[in-house]
Chains A and B, each alone.
Chain A
């Protein structure tokens, strides 16, 4: 019983040995390893002491593609050894391409494995007749000179292609983002959430009040005060907005510093403005403007102090904030 099983295992091993000796098996193993090393990291994470390094590449797709090609080469080498030159050259090309496009070719290891595998595939010679057996050691050198010229030729071709690929891909740089802004003039994209602007001094120049309008905020339509201005100066700016799940993003400028928004003009949609209206710096009038309680009179130049503005939109501004600090809490 047990000897019968051993015989069967031995027979299976012999069959496997005969099988793998008739094809570039080692070359395939190297390519398989290269495919795994290049293909896995974009989807894996490593632990290094207390630090977890997870590598998520936008170019993860190219890693997957390269890994798939290497695996196809492996299968081709094992099932169709007669295509070993094509598979070997392909493996070398994609291994070199991986260097540029996918995490430095699996941190160099994948590329080196792929190059070794590809070179083994090109150097593999099919089983010869019984007469060729004795001079196995020497034939490698005598028989190689014309064919190594050929393989050198293919390799040079490979480098030519590789040198051309980055040049082509670089000439196809992404188009500038000019065309998108034109559509947003009157009916811009729906607003997200209201955001809050506070300043110790708010100075508006070239101000125009365009009445009460509506805008979309999330799923709701809300009434807003519509302003345009050519220049907005904010002293001690602080802007807060809800980012996600109740967390707040804050942009602050140092106390006393002046941030400016300029435009031709700047559009401002406001839900509420509270503060003190300063008339010629002499008289302070507390104000609270909302769409239900709009400002009775708007002059081209207005100055508010200790002001809080709840906005939905600010558009077409050139914004300068010195020593800005962005924090998430």
Chain B
């Protein structure tokens, strides 16, 4: 019949060869990502989570108020944004209560060592933050809509309070945040673990 003549075929040998090479390429990219050689951009928001670091060194810091609606519920947050930030001994934890079958669980990401986490154009929705704060070229009381030193998108409502600094260093950082957005995030020596119970970074 006519239809069997007009049927395309798959050359499975070629398929295997091409797919093998492509997957090898993907694997090398993933390896590069996990070693911090390449940058992955992603952002997670919607539940409050903890971030701790021995030290944060940032450039182009701005701070203003905003309402985070990432999870549907509105949370008033202090938006802290950096053009560039490097964190030593980075730890991030998200508490997941009452996970089916296993109960309370904590998802913990750690990136050990100096410069464990590096980010560009990072925007954080902060609920609370503690640390030894050093700011240079600080301007406090700027219109939040006129902030110039942070990432291009990091601006608040015109007429609202804002502050900015050329550089920011935060020692012994302990932070509870609702959202993180970054253009790029680099995590060195990344370790992801699930801990049972409430077992967070601090």
- The verdict on A17 contacting B138 (CB below 8 Å), with A176-B59, A327-B128 known, is no
Supposing A189-B142, A245-B67, A322-B132 touch, asked if A123 and B18 sit within 8 A by C-beta, the answer is yes
Q: Provide the main secondary structure of the chain A interface.
A: mixed
Decide: B76 and A244 in contact? CB cutoff 8 A. yes
> In whole angstroms, how far apart are the Cα atoms of A35 and B61 in the complex?
36
Chain B proximity mask over A135-151: 1 for CB below 8 Å, otherwise 0: 01001110110011001
What does the 1/0 interface line of A153-168 toward B look like (CB < 8 Å)? 0011011001000100
A79 interface residue (CB < 8 Å to B): no
Q: How far, in angstroms, from A188 to B141 measured CA to CA in the complex? A: 11
Whether the pair B133, A324 counts as a contact (CB closer than 8 A) is yes
**CA of A313 to CA of B138, assembled, Å:** 10
- Inter-chain contacts of B42 with A (CB < 8 A): 55, 57, 59, 103-104
Chain-A contact segment, one of B108-116, B152-160, B191-199 = B152-160
Query: Which residue of the partner chain, among B14, B22, B23, B181, contacts A58 with CB atoms under 8 Å?
Result: B181
For the complex, count residues of B whose C-beta is within 8 A of A: 94
CA of A126 to CA of B5, assembled, Å: 10
Q: Does A287 lie at the interface of the complex (its beta carbon under 8 Å from any beta carbon of B)? A: no
B161: A residues at CB distance < 8 A: 192-193, 195, 241-243, 249
Q: Which residues of B contact A51 (CB under 8 A)?
A: 46-47, 94, 96-97
Main secondary structure of the interface of B (DSSP, over half): strand
| Residue of B with least CB distance to A103 | B42
Q: A58-B121, A115-B22, A244-B160 are in contact. Are A128 and B9 (CB under 8 A)?
A: yes
For A140, list chain B residues within 8 Å (CB).
9-14
Contact A96 B138 (CB under 8 A): no
Given the known interface contacts A48-B96, A49-B100, the answer about A125 and B76 at a Cβ–Cβ threshold of 8 Å is: no
| Highest count of chain B CB atoms <10 Å: which of A24, A144, A269 | A144
Q: Output the least CB separation between A59 and chain B (Å).
A: 4
Q: Across the interface, which residues of A come within 8 angstroms of B183, CB to CB?
A: 58-59
Whether A54 touches B70, Cβ cut-off 8 Å, given contacts A49-B97, A141-B13, A320-B134, is yes
Q: Per-residue 0/1 for A285-308: is the Cβ within 8 Å of any B Cβ (1 yes, 0 no)?
A: 000000000000000000000000
Distance A54 CA – B13 CA, assembled complex (angstroms): 41
Chain A nearest Cβ from B167, distance in angstroms: 9
Q: Which residue of B lies closest to A239 (CB)?
A: B140
Bound: A108/B23 CA distance, A:
11
Of all chain B residues, which has the CB nearest A218? Answer: B159
Query: Which residues on A sit within 8 Å (CB–CB) of B133?
Result: 251, 319-322, 324
B57 CB within 8 Å of chain A: no
Residues B65 and A243 in contact, CB atoms below 8 Å apart: yes
Give B101 Cβ to nearest chain A Cβ, in Å: 11
A236 to chain B, nearest CB (A): 15
Chain B 114-136 near chain A by CB (<8 Å), digits 1 or 0: 00000011010011111111111
**10 tightest A-B contacts by CB?**
A243-B65, A123-B15, A189-B146, A119-B19, A244-B65, A59-B41, A324-B133, A119-B18, A241-B161, A247-B76
Chain B residues within CB distance 8 Å of chain A: 3-15, 17-19, 21-23, 25-26, 29-30, 33, 38-47, 59-60, 63-67, 70-72, 76-78, 83-84, 94, 96-100, 120-121, 123, 126-144, 146, 148-149, 153, 156-157, 159-162, 165-166, 172, 179, 181-183
| 8 CB < 8 A contacts A-B | A22-B6, A144-B11, A148-B17, A152-B17, A314-B138, A318-B136, A324-B133, A326-B128
